Amino acid sequence: MSRTIPNKLYNIRGQVEGRSYRMISFFHKHPSEISEDGWSLFEQAESKFIVDKLSLSIMAECQCEFLSREIDSESSEPAIVSVKMDILEALDSIKK
């Protein structure tokens, strides 16, 4: 089963140690809505993102694909407007 969930922070970047990172949250419209320790630095391949821990816990159960806008196609770090998620349990049962 697949779901696509919009990223409420698609237009916001977070600063960590002088570097700007794309942010992902399914629940919060602004980073200040939760405390600093409510965020995690998440790595996928060679990319890093800042994700709130609740959204990250949902993503952990899925195979995720980050979706961007056509207008950002030339960017090396396009805005993540939504996340397409395939539940891992469903993928396991299909393989059997």
Q: Residue ranges of the domains in the chain?
A: 2-95
Nearest alpha carbon to residue 4 among 62, 49, 46, 51: 62
Nearest alpha carbon to residue 22 among 70, 71, 63, 83: 83
Torsion over CA: 32, 35, 36, 39 (sign): negative
Q: What is the pTM of this model?
A: 0.84
Is pLDDT of 91 > 70?
no
> Model confidence at 44, in pLDDT bands (50, 70, 90)?
confident
pLDDT at 46: 84
Is pLDDT of 95 > 90?
no
pLDDT at 96: 53
pLDDT at 10: 95
Estimate to the nearest angstrom the gap between the alpha carbon of 30 and the chain centroid. 14
